[in-house]
Structure 1
Amino acid sequence: MPTSRSLTGRRRSRSGYALLACGLVGGLAAPAAVAASPGTQAGQTGASVSGQRQPGPAAPRGSVGLWTSVNASHPTKSYHGLTDDVARVGKRALRNNPELNGVWRSFVTMGAQDLHRRGTIKEARLVIRNTTSQSCAPYNVEIWDTGRIYPRTTWNTQPRWYHWLHTLHPGSSGNCQNRTLSFNVTADAREAQKNRWPSMTLGLKASNEKSSDAYKTFAPSTARLHVTWS
């Protein structure tokens, strides 16, 4: 059964792409709404627990959207609304702030209502700002289709990682801080269109969760779903 997904407003970019805006947390207004519920996952990289997507109602248009991060070193703690506009991926290991150390993963819920129109999705990409990188070496970042999230989602209750969508290989040339990364999420957008999901939740994690050099942060407020139609 299809996952419950969030509604969103749509606006047009100058390039003509349809932009589906990501919701925000921490009291920031957003043109997205969200319907979210927890899933389960074993906690191993890329390993998912058996289970089925659970249906649920979409939230009213205009609600505050949802994103969150989880931390393996604090497996029962919810970080929803506690990390400002910072979504973390990979292993953080610094002496001056042990509370933030550990392996991080992050999730954003994107509205999918506007994908239900007639037509063929040629390409869909999640565009998001990579604000910091521990190293400029090309440590990979993965994006997955995942189950829904709640404000109380923790590492131990993180949603199921359904399937891998894209691995980005950020190069070491140029500035590796405050740059825009673009992930191919076409397969998920097509599924959202086919099954009429009101939302789609995407999970970000480092391919290498053992090296602290792979640690990166993202700004969820910059997340946009860019869709082109054929």
Structure 2
Amino acid sequence: MNFGRSAWARSLALSALIVPMFTLISPPGPAHATGGSAIEPESWALVTSHHPHRAHYVPYEPTWDGDDDAVVGRTNQPRNITRAFFRVKVSSLAGKRVFRAGLSLGIRDGSDCGTQIEVWETTAIGPRTTWKRQPQWLRKLSTTTPQLICPSVLGISHSVTQAVQDAAARGDEYLTIGLRSADETVPGRRLYRTTSVTANPGPALVTVYNTAPDVPSELSVRSDCYGPAAGRHVRTATPTLRAAATDPDEVSSDEKLRVRFEWADAAGTKLGEAVTLEESSPHCVTVPAGQLTEGEAYTWRARTENRYRTEHPDGTGWLEDWDYSDWSSWQPEFTVDTTPPAQPLVSSTDFPQGRPGGRIGLPGTLTLSPNGSQDVASYAYSFSPGPAGSVTALDDGTAVLTYTPTLPFPVTLKVNGVDRAGNRSPVTSYVFRPTPAAPPTVSSAVYPPDAPGGGVGVPGEFVFGVNGVTDTTTFRYQLSGTPAQDVAVGDGGTATVTITPAKAGVNTLTVSSLNAAGTRLAGTTYTFTVNP
């Protein structure tokens, strides 16, 4: 609920104890789909027969001192009849289903609580409103005779339901309410407060209403309620239609919303409809089997439905009905496609199937083909060892994968074709065997491989070469019993290091070539003998 002033919010709970004694708040019953508001008047006016040409028009201000009363009724000494009018802006109620509405007014000490007051709808008031220039009294709305708590600083409700309902239906901006004694020949008057007192609110039009729910949002077609949204093609003949439901009055759990779905063929012929349960979230329905055909296109729409309850006019029970949002627009057509694509083909000149090909560290390509299927949108793939993922198909249905081997073992590529609806083809397995690069070369004049040389503690130079593997950037070498070390490839594809053996006899030097990614391309072992 949206209250015009903080005093209204503070006093709402207390007011609820008083207002039910009259006409605004209904007797206890189930709570469904209701909102409400308390709208303060924008102005009020008083007219008096004793001063028929005097205007008393007051634009509403929340800073009044509370001494200016709206007096309604008759006095004989002097003989005088007074009437009051309140002008309320009701444009915020346009289009709402108003259940109850009452002008809530506090009654000051000194009032004649037995005086019957008639509540009327009138034409507008203004600065020139006087007894002689009164608004037109259009229709009587109610007659109020408080039998309890009078006087009262709390608001006593004066029913104006019919006028507010009509104004909301027409979309009127303002409503003017007039008050006068039911019998102006009999003395007695009511002193209505025109401002708040302490924490108690001043005059207000208090309404209880229901607002039609919002048009459904987040509309999507899915294979099931919690699966991903599909595109223009769905891979089931029983798709799920999904939507989110909201309501402008949704300020508590009392709101009961459901969503109704309709679906039709591409020509607009309705095929069926279904409605969700009120407690659903999200709101989903599944099209029954047998209504949609493979390869055909369909459309659909949805609306939100909001249950409300209000008491029966004769007080014997409750009336229940529904308010509806507008229908959503017809959604873009979707086509039923439950047929998976054919098993894809894989070909590669870099990595021929079933035999050695390609080289560790050197990228190669593999081409994926749809094998006659016309609707392949992508391919799902996985290399073992290696990455997995998906690749979008080109217009001709093909796609190209790039793969860089890192190990000298057989590699298995598994591929599924995926069509626009998400159907997967049978899997294709493609096995190939990358080969190592040529091993690096190693040479040393001090420590040749075929004769003893040097000696313990005698340094010797060793020269490493890339051996035609031009993507080698680093050599990693390790003399047995010592830590591994790296050296960058220099100009000419070689690198020179100095090694000082620490033991006599046979020594083993292991050398590997690495590319810029750190992949080991190949390796070799160089054995030499150290003199004692």
TM range (shorter): 0.5 to 0.7
Using the size of structure 1 for normalisation, the TM-score is 0.66
Q: Return 5+ residue gaps in structure 1 as ranges.
A: 1-8, 23-64
1:91 to 2:69 alignment: no
Instruction: Tell me which of the two structures has the higher relative contact order, counting C-alpha pairs closer than 8 angstroms and 6 or more residues apart.
Output: 1
**When you count strand as a share of all residues, which structure comes out higher?**
2
| Counterpart for residue 51 of structure 1 | none
Cα distance change on mapping 1:84 and 1:67 into 2, 3 Å = farther
Q: Deviations over 1:163-216 (max 9, x none)?
A: 000100122x5543655320111101111111111110000011121222x211
Q: What secondary structure does 2:38 align onto?
A: strand
Match of residue 204, structure 1, among 149, 164, 179: 179
Match of residue 37, structure 2, among 18, 31, 37: 18
Match of residue 89, structure 2, among 111, 116, 125: 111
- Tell me if structure 2 keeps the 8 A contact 1:112–1:197: yes
| Counterpart for residue 150 of structure 1 | 126
Q: Deviations over 1:145-178 (max 9, x none)?
A: 000011111001100000000100122x554365
Cα distance change on mapping 1:224 and 1:134 into 2, 3 Å = closer
Q: Deviations over 1:83-108 (max 9, x none)?
A: 952111111244xxx5xx51000000
Query: Percent of aligned pairs with the same residue?
Result: 25
| Counterpart for residue 127 of structure 1 | 104
Cα distance change on mapping 1:130 and 1:175 into 2, 3 Å = closer
Q: Distance in 1 between matches of 2:152 and 2:110?
A: 6
| Counterpart for residue 28 of structure 1 | none
RMSD over aligned Cα, in angstroms?
2.7
- Tell me if structure 2 keeps the 8 A contact 1:66–1:151: no
- Tell me if structure 1 keeps the 8 A contact 2:155–2:203: no
1:188 to 2:188 alignment: no
Q: What secondary structure does 2:119 align onto?
A: strand
- Tell me if structure 2 keeps the 8 A contact 1:133–1:217: yes
Q: Distance in 2 between matches of 1:69 and 1:140?
A: 18
Q: Deviations over 1:30-87 (max 9, x none)?
A: xxxxxxxxxxxxxxxxxxxxxxxxxxxxxxxxxxx22110011211111224x95211
Q: Return 5+ residue gaps in structure 2 as ranges.
A: 14-34, 59-65, 196-201, 210-307, 309-532
- Tell me if structure 2 keeps the 8 A contact 1:19–1:227: yes
Q: Distance in 1 between matches of 2:56 and 2:4?
A: 28
- Length, aligned pairs only: 172
Q: Which shows bigger deviation, 175-184 or 153-162? A: 175-184
Question: CA shift at 1:125, angstroms?
Answer: 1.1
The amino acid that maps onto 2:167 is A
- Tell me if structure 1 keeps the 8 A contact 2:122–2:177: yes
Q: Say which one has the larger Rg.
A: 2
Match of residue 170, structure 1, among 130, 134, 146: 146
Question: CA shift at 1:228, angstroms?
Answer: 0.8
- Tell me if structure 1 keeps the 8 A contact 2:107–2:150: no
Using the size of structure 2 for normalisation, the TM-score is 0.30
